[in-house]
Structure formats: C-alpha cells, structure tokens
Amino acid sequence: MKKIGFIGLGIMGAAMAGHLLDAGFDVSVYNRTKSKADDLVSRGAKWCGSPGACAEGQDVVITIVGYPKDVEQVYFGEDGILARAWAGAYVVDMTTSSPILAERIYAAAKEKGIFAVDAPVTGGDTGARNATLSILVGGDAEAFEALQPVFLAMGKNIVHVGAAGAGQKTKACNQIAIAGALAGVCEAFAYAKASGLDIGKVYEAISQGAAGSFQMNGVAKKGLDGDFRPGFMLKHFGKDLAIATETGTAYGAALPVLGMVLHEVRKMEHGGKGNEGTQALLKYYGVAEP
Ligand code: NAP
C-alpha cells in the first residue's frame, strides 16, 4: 500500500496529505481550486486534473471535500473515483457526510471489487496539523486493518465503530455533543455580560474547573480574543447539524438541543457569517460584536 490519491486540499486535507508525503507515501492530489495544491506539489506530490485521474491506479484514494453533494460528485461523477479506481483499491471518505451516502458508496464500490470505508475525523485543524486526529471508521474489519499505516500517518485515536455508515453516524454523535457544549459556553458568557461581569475575568475563573472544555478553552477563547478566523467553519457546522437532525429524526432519536443550535447556526449563516469559525456563535448570543 504505497500509492495514494488525495482529493480535497482545504484546511484539513492539505495538512493530512502533507503527513502522508512525510510518511513516505507516493501521493497524487486533486482539488477544485488548483492553487491549493502548490505547496504539496513543491514537496513532491503529483497533480492530477480530475477526481478520476487521481483515483486511477492508486492503492488508496482519500477524499475530504466539503459537503455530501461534493462527495457525491467526486465518487459518482462522470470522471469520478468509482468510474476509474481499480479493483482491489481502497476508497476512504474522510469528509463529514451523510451515513446514507456512505452506505451507497460502499455498495457501489463493492460491485466493482473496490473496498470502501467512511472515516470522518475529529480534532479540528490543530489535530490535522499535528497528525493527532481521531478517526471514526465504518466498513469491513479487513479494510480497517489494511488501512492502519495510512490512518496512523494522520491520526492517533483510530476506532473501527461498525459497518459502512457507522463512521458517519459516530461523527454525528460527536457534532451533537459539540453543539450543546459550544452553545452552553456562549450562554454562560451571555449571562456574564448581562449581569455586568468582566468576561475576561469570568473566563479566567471558570475555564480551569469543571466547566473547562475544548469548546470553552480551544474554540470560544479565540472569539473572546476577537479572532473569528475559521479552524472549523460555521457553514460546515450547519451542514453537520443538518445531517444529524435529518438522520437522527429518521432513527427516532430525541434531539431538542440539536434543533435549537442548528437554528442559531443557520441564522448566522444567513447573516453572512458562514465562513467564520464556530466561535462566531458568540455573536449570536451578543457576547461579541457582529
Ligand atoms: P475546506 O477548507 O472548505 O476544504 C474542502 C476542500 O475540498 C476545498 O479545498 C474544496 O475546494 C475541496 N472540494 C470541495 N468540493 C470539491 C470537489 N467537488 N472536487 C474537488 N475538490 C473539492 O474545509 P475543511 O475545513 O478542510 O473541511 C473538510 C471536511 O472535513 C468538511 O466536511 C468538514 O465538515 C470536515 N471537518 C472539518 C474540520 C475542521 O476543523 N476544519 C474538522 C473535522 C471535520 P476549493 O479549494 O475549491 O474550495
């Protein structure tokens, strides 16, 4: 397992593909905006002109694009991955996408003798840069085992959670937990502001105790410091919460907090904040200036 095609070179993918190069894999790359491949190409990656060209002849094809519609396009499009990947190859979708689409890719790949797994990640842009991602894998156990060297170049906590689609379902659980945690942190600082407290002092006082969390100390702190550049974009958070809502409703789960936070995130997106980081939810709560 030497040759890897890597598709999607954004905040996450560029760093992850870089780790595969550093680990000695022979990496080919494709991205919608070509210039995002420049750095990787200067480090030895080969540029390919389409998803299909990037998939042909590879041992492994990795995708981490934006939305389910992008996943659909790169896998099922005319010059897509499933049209050109060779039998025996492994295709690994690391995008946060729909479990139903993951099951569709698995079935279509199987018909062609291709092994498909869904392997979304958590750990944010920091985890991608430091190769410390958690990787949530759905698919066949044999494929999970075979892909270990590839996963280990990008992540640390690599868990086989079940059959095809289980990785995406687990990622939905992760995003549901984040939604409540982030909204709770924003609400705490809204209370601080409304009651006349100094927000910086409140952060200092409560961030090291039982209320401290990645959402408070790693995400909201950036916003309190006036930095709204994205580690994780609000528009992708909205996409994830919508997937969790749609599928969760179909599975019969009760998700009241998720519904509230999805509404808040959608309002922020409609207000033009979709490309800001998730810490911009502080603006919804009036903690930060719009
Ligand atoms: P991003 O910066 O927008 O990266 C996505 C990349 O995919 C972009 O470079 C985009 O091209 C490319 N792309 C989209 N559709 C494509 C297509 N049809 N063909 C070729 N390339 C295509 O987003 P990101 O933050 O890296 O996130 C990527 C995925 O990981 C999302 O599903 C997100 O929810 C998930 N995720 C993100 C984080 C995080 O902290 N950032 C953490 C965990 C999971 P362009 O350059 O042309 O836009």
User: What CATH number corresponds to the domain at position 228?
Assistant: 1.10.1040.10
Quick check: 42 and 17 in contact, CB under 8 A? no
69 CA distance to ligand 1 centroid (A)? 12
Q: Which of 164, 197, 224 is the last residue of a domain?
A: 164
10 CA distance to ligand 1 centroid (A)? 5
Q: Domain range spanning residue 194?
A: 170-284
Residue type at 102 in one-letter notation: A
Contacts of 239 (CB under 8 A, 6+ apart): 66, 67, 68, 96
Residue 70: inside a domain: yes
pTM: 0.97
Whether 70 lines ligand 1, by a CB cut-off of 6 Å, is: yes
Left, alpha or beta for 24 (phi > 0: left; psi -120 to 50: alpha)? Answer: left
Whether 119 and 42 share a structural domain: yes
Residue 24: inside a domain: yes
Q: Which of 118, 135, 164 is the last residue of a domain?
A: 164
pLDDT tens for each residue of the chain, 290 residues long: 899 999 999 999 999 999 999 999 999 999 999 999 999 999 999 999 999 999 999 999 999 999 999 999 999 999 999 999 999 999 999 999 999 999 999 999 999 999 999 999 999 999 999 999 999 999 999 999 999 999 999 999 999 999 999 999 999 999 999 999 999 999 999 999 999 999 999 999 999 999 999 999 999 999 999 999 999 999 999 999 999 999 999 999 999 999 999 999 999 999 999 999 999 999 999 999 99
User: What CATH number corresponds to the domain at position 23?
Assistant: 3.40.50.720
For helices 99-111 and 166-194, give the axis angle rounded to 10 degrees.
160
Residue 285, helix vs strand vs coil: coil
Residue 85, helix vs strand vs coil: coil
Whether 148 and 7 share a structural domain: yes
Whether 59 and 77 share a structural domain: yes
Whether 7 and 147 share a structural domain: yes
Contacts of 228 (CB under 8 A, 6+ apart): 222, 276, 277, 279, 280, 288
Model pLDDT, residue 210: 98
Number of domains making up the chain: 2
Torsion of CA 21, 230, 246, 169, to 10 degrees: 40
Residue 8: inside a domain: yes
Whether 249 and 131 share a structural domain: no
Contacts of 216 (CB under 8 A, 6+ apart): 181, 185, 203, 206, 207
Whether 15 and 156 share a structural domain: yes
Model pLDDT, residue 1: 81
Residue with structure tokens 């600082």? 189
Instruction: Report phi then psi at 140, rounded to 5.
Output: -75, 145
- For atom 19 of ligand 1, the residue with the nearest CA is 32
- How close are the terminal C-alpha atoms of the chain, in Å? 49
Tokens of 214: 């990645």
Whether 23 and 157 share a structural domain: yes
Residue 59: inside a domain: yes
Note the helical H segments in 77-158. Answer: 81-84, 99-111, 124-130, 141-146, 148-152
12 CA distance to ligand 1 centroid (A)? 7
Residue 63, helix vs strand vs coil: strand
Residue 192: inside a domain: yes
Whether 219 and 240 share a structural domain: yes
Q: Which of 114, 149, 164 is the last residue of a domain?
A: 164
Model pLDDT, residue 238: 98
Catalytic residue set: 171
Residue 7: inside a domain: yes
Whether 153 and 192 share a structural domain: no
Tokens of 206: 């409560």
CA distances to 119, 178, 278 from 239, rounded to whole Å, are 17, 14, 12
Whether 152 and 185 share a structural domain: no
Model pLDDT, residue 283: 98
Model pLDDT, residue 287: 98
Residue 289: inside a domain: no
Whether 15 lines ligand 1, by a CB cut-off of 6 Å, is: no
Whether 125 lines ligand 1, by a CB cut-off of 6 Å, is: yes
Give the β-pairing of 155-162 and 133-138. Answer: parallel
- For atom 46 of ligand 1, the residue with the nearest CA is 33
Whether 160 and 242 share a structural domain: no
Whether 108 and 38 share a structural domain: yes
Residue positions counted in the chain? 290
Residue 290: inside a domain: no
